Homo-oligomer: A and B are copies of this chain.
């Protein structure tokens, strides 16, 4: 930590996160419901998880009797990319453990799952925890992207946990990490280890959610940080009246971040990968749509605008997808030969000869630097589509389209695009009051699940659009959220990613308004995240959550409904 801290840091270190009513006492008990089943692939998942399949839902309620006397040894690990609130989950674990028994101890595994496998950890003391209360980032114990999946990994974990006399491990991560947590839980149970495994739902992409898990933590803070910036840029656009801002946001698979920011700021154009994929909208159609909005706005005297796009868009455009598949096989065959072709134009010519007509057309319309990027396969032998800066791709293609329209006298729009990417600015931001309270509650609840000796569960807190004292904490068996998917040619159990559902309220609200937002300037300016002041400003949930909760409550049964 830096020796000098800001006035806001000081205030936030002293902020006491709010807890659901049932967690405000150490006299809690865990109530178990009926056995559960996944929505699909039941036989296969039952076969893979004989010991943890079909476990009941868990609800944490106020109980009688005194607090547990026996001290607990608990470990915690951060997995994957930073999300605001990670330190609050850890603080919640710490306070819950100590409030139940001062002798309890919390250990932080270092640099992600790799630290669990290697048995690298440090004890988290009150002094250390106090340094990180309500702070952003994962720097307290750091994170990593290793996976605990190979047999030797599992064995190493069992050994380390035994040496540490660990009662439980809390894995803070996304869908994959929670899946791996379930695999580890199943293994340890089968091996007769006493260590239980609890997952916590983290990802700013917001794609780990269902009827039980209303939101993954970090999404609230990240989206509000990006929305502040997008709103500021919208205000600048209406003041400068001469630039089109193309803003790329995080979201490789799901477009929840882009959709939430669109609902918060109402930019002129927002592209949603899921819609483009579902409707099979081509690159040319996308470019024409944008160019048409640019043209229609210019006719209204508005040669400016704001466009928001998720970074992962290209992978969801059917003709790009097809072209990439063809490129992969051509490069798999002729990569060396193509690289040896000295001049760019020769490479393009060669490919045009070997790509299908449609893919050749798509490839030829790409900017030269992107054409080159797509000719070098990455270490996994894949064409590195993810290296394409989506906003620049669109800026170039739309510029060309507008030039074309001008030459044909079809428009006189002045089009000056500017590109932006917002990612790192939000991943490690100070958690909002919402994320601070939510994450602290998740940590607190996880300890109750460990006390109840539950394993293979993801901790959840529901009723999130209500005041925090009305929040309801519990646990959801991971097996219940699993389905079988093919990864690297192999069918594996995974928690299905919750993509943007075109039938859900958030997308519907966007779709109903986008034509108006495109032509009028109906920008909304959320401003910076507030930690003080009126609760409707400082404690409001995301628009996504509010709109989803307005819908009829999703039956527990169709847990994966949102993404099915």
Q: How far is the CA of A420 from the CA of B229 in the complex (A)?
A: 14
Query: Taking A143-B239, A236-B82, A424-B232 as contacts, is the C-beta distance between A6 and B245 under 8 angstroms?
Result: no
Would you call A139 and B235 a contact (CB within 8 A)? yes
Distance (Å) between the CB of A202 and the closest chain B CB? 13
Q: A266 contacts the other chain (Cβ, under 8 Å)?
A: yes
Closest to A266 in B: B2
Q: How large is the interface on A (under 10, 10 to 19, 20 to 34, 35 or more residues)?
A: 35 or more
Query: Taking A239-B143, A536-B7 as contacts, is the C-beta distance between A136 and B232 under 8 angstroms?
Result: yes
Question: Pick the contact of A8 from B233, B424, B521, B526 — CB < 8 Å?
Answer: B526
Would you call B427 and A236 a contact (CB within 8 A)? yes
List of B residues within 8 angstroms of A523 by Cβ: 2
Q: A486 contacts the other chain (Cβ, under 8 Å)?
A: no
Would you call A139 and B239 a contact (CB within 8 A)? yes
Q: A408-443 interface mask toward B, CB cutoff 8 Å, 1 = contact, 0 = none?
A: 000000000010100011111110000000000000
Q: How far is the CA of A198 from the CA of B215 in the complex (A)?
A: 54
Q: A241 contacts the other chain (Cβ, under 8 Å)?
A: yes
Q: A130-163 interface mask toward B, CB cutoff 8 Å, 1 = contact, 0 = none?
A: 0000011111001100000000000000000000
List of B residues within 8 angstroms of A236 by Cβ: 82, 137, 424, 427-428
Q: A325 contacts the other chain (Cβ, under 8 Å)?
A: no
From A254-262, A309-317, A527-535, the one touching the partner chain is A527-535
Would you call A6 and B527 a contact (CB within 8 A)? yes
List of B residues within 8 angstroms of A428 by Cβ: 232-233, 235-236, 239
A2-B266, A233-B424 given; 5 more Cβ-contact pairs under 8 Å: A9-B524, A137-B239, A232-B424, A233-B428, A429-B528
Would you call A530 and B527 a contact (CB within 8 A)? no
Q: How far is the CA of A143 from the CA of B143 in the complex (A)?
A: 47
Q: A187 contacts the other chain (Cβ, under 8 Å)?
A: no
Would you call A9 and B229 a contact (CB within 8 A)? no
Copies of this chain assembled into the complex:
2
Q: A553 contacts the other chain (Cβ, under 8 Å)?
A: no
Distance (Å) between the CB of A222 and the closest chain B CB? 10
Q: Which residues of A contact B (CB under 8 A)?
A: 2-9, 11-12, 82, 135-139, 142-143, 225, 228-229, 231-233, 235-236, 238-241, 243, 245, 264, 266, 418, 420, 424-430, 521-534, 536-538, 540
Interface centre among A7, A142, A233, A427 (most CB of B within 10 A): A7
Distance (Å) between the CB of A27 and the closest chain B CB? 34
Query: Would you list 18 pairs from A and B whose C-beta atoms are within 8 A, ordered by A residue?
Result: A6-B231, A6-B264, A8-B525, A8-B527, A8-B528, A139-B238, A142-B241, A225-B232, A225-B528, A229-B229, A232-B424, A232-B425, A232-B429, A430-B528, A528-B530, A532-B534, A532-B538, A533-B533
Distance (Å) between the CB of A463 and the closest chain B CB? 21
Q: How far is the CA of A522 from the CA of B5 in the complex (A)?
A: 9
Would you call B529 and A4 a contact (CB within 8 A)? no
Question: Pick the contact of A524 from B5, B228, B238, B425 — CB < 8 Å?
Answer: B5
Q: How far is the CA of A235 from the CA of B238 in the complex (A)?
A: 32
Question: Pick the contact of A525 from B135, B229, B427 — CB < 8 Å?
Answer: B135
Distance (Å) between the CB of A543 and the closest chain B CB? 10
Interface centre among A238, A523, A530 (most CB of B within 10 A): A530
List of B residues within 8 angstroms of A427 by Cβ: 232, 236
Distance (Å) between the CB of A526 and the closest chain B CB? 5
Interchain residue pairs A-B with the least CB separation, the first 5: A532-B533, A528-B528, A236-B428, A137-B235, A235-B428
Q: How far is the CA of A532 from the CA of B536 in the complex (A)?
A: 13
List of B residues within 8 angstroms of A534 by Cβ: 7, 11, 532
